[in-house]
Amino acid sequence: MKFRGIVLLLGSVLFAAILFAQASAQTAGSDDLPSAPSAVRQERSKPKPPPPAPPPASAQPQTSTTSAEAEPQTTPPPAEPPAAKSGAAQANPTSEGNAAQDLNPPNDPTTTITKTVNEVNVVFTVTDRHGRYVKNLAKSDFTVLDDSKPSGQIRSFHSETDLPLQVGLMVDASNSVRDRFKFEQESAIEFLNQTVRPRYDKAFVVGFDVTPEVTQDFTDNTEALSRGVRALRPGGGTAMYDAVYFACRDKLLKEPRNGPVRRAIILLSDGDDNMSHVTREEAIEMALRAEVIVYTISTNITGGARRSGDKVLERIADATGGRAFFPFQLNDVANAFVEIQDELRSQYALSYNPSDLRTDGRYHTIEILAQNHKGLRVRSRRGYYAPTQ
C-alpha cells in the first residue's frame, strides 16, 4: 500500500511538471508578437504624413490696382492689366467669382480699394509787361481753358513761393561745350548752393554726352552736389533728348513725394543733338507726364546770334512752362541761374477737374488766363496727357 501511494504521488508530481512546461512554452511563444496596446503605441509613434501643400501664389487670386490719376504714366499700360482682371471678377458674380472670394476673403490684407482722381495740377508764373513777377493774385483772378473750353471748378489754388523742390541739374558734357565747361560748372555749383535747402529740397546731377551719367543722386547735401558737378568730364557726342527723357522718367517721376512739390530741370546745352534714340517731342512728352518744368540755358556764346540748337532749347522750355535763357556773354550764365532761382520761388499752383476728361491717354491743351488784369502774362505747361485705364 505504501508503495502504491508513493507511485501515485510521483505520478501527480510528474503530471504537474508537464502541465507547467506546456504553459511556459506558450508564454514564451507569445512574447514574439506585440500585444494590442503595443501595436497602438507603435502606430501612434509613426511620423504623420505632411499636410497637403497650399496652392502656389500664382494660383491664388490677388487684387492689384492701378490708379488713373492726373499724374502721367511713365510707360503705356499693359494690354491686360491686373486691375482689369480683378474688376471683371467683381463685376460678374459667377461661380468662379464666388470661389475667388472664398480664397480671398474681405479681410485679406492684399485687397485694396482705389479711387480714380481726374484732377490736373498746374504750376505757373505771372509777369507784368516789364517781366516782373506778380505774386499777389487770388483764385478769382484766373480762368482755365481745357482744350479751349472752360474747365470744371478750380479745386485748389495756392501762391506757391515756398514749395519743396525736386531739381535735376543736367550739364552737356559733349565736346562741343569743352571751351566753357569750367565756368558753367562753377555757375551751377553756386546755383545749387543758393537754391537747395537742407531737409527740404532735393537735387541730383546728370552729365550727358552719348549717354547720361548720374554723378550725384538725389540729396539735400550741397557739398555732395558740388562734388557731383566737379566730377563731370567733357566727352563725345550729344544725346540730349535721351538725357531729358531719362531724367524725367527714371529720376523725377520715381522720386516719392509726401505732398505738393515743384519739379524742375535746369538744362545747360548748346541744343545740338546727334546721338539720341528718342525724339525731341518724345522727350517733351515725358516731361509733361512727369509734371517737370524745364529751364534751358544755352551755351552758344556767340554775341547774340541764335543757332539752330537755340530753337530746340526754346521749344523744350516753352512746352513745359519753363524759360529759355540765351546768355550774351559767358558771365551771363550765372545771371540766368539767379533768374531761375527767383522764378522757382515766385509761382502759383492750382488744380482743377476737367469737365469732360476721359481715360483715353489723349493730349489736352491748357491755357490759364489772368482775367480783369491787362498786360499780365501767364506761363505754364502747354498741356497734359489724360490717364489711361
What confidence tens digit (pLDDT) does each residue in 325-381 have? 998 887 888 899 999 998 988 889 899 988 877 888 889 999 999 987 888 999 999
Cell of 263: 519739379
Q: How far is CA 78 from the centre of its chain?
A: 16
Residue 249's pLDDT is 97
- CA within 13 Å, CB half, 129: 3
The string of DSSP codes covering 229-298 is: HHT----S---HHHHHHHIIIIIITTS--SS--EEEEEEEE----SS-SS-HHHHHHHHHHTTEEEEEEE
Report CA torsion sign: 356, 359, 364, 369: positive
- Report the pLDDT value the prediction gives residue 62, as an integer from 0 to 100: 38
Position 47 pLDDT exceeds 60 = no
DSSP bridge pairs for 388: 360
Confidence of residue 237 (pLDDT cuts 50, 70, 90): confident
**180 pLDDT more than 60:** yes
Q: Domains in the chain, start-ordered, CATH in brackets?
A: 61-103 (no CATH), 122-160+350-385 (no CATH), 165-294+301-320+328-338 (3.40.50.410)
d(CA 373, CA 104): 58
C-alpha cell at 259: 505732398
Question: What's the distance, CA 305 to chain centroid?
Answer: 41
User: Is 70 exceeded by the pLDDT of residue 45?
Assistant: no
Write out the H or E segment, with its range, that includes residue 352.
Answer: strand 347-352
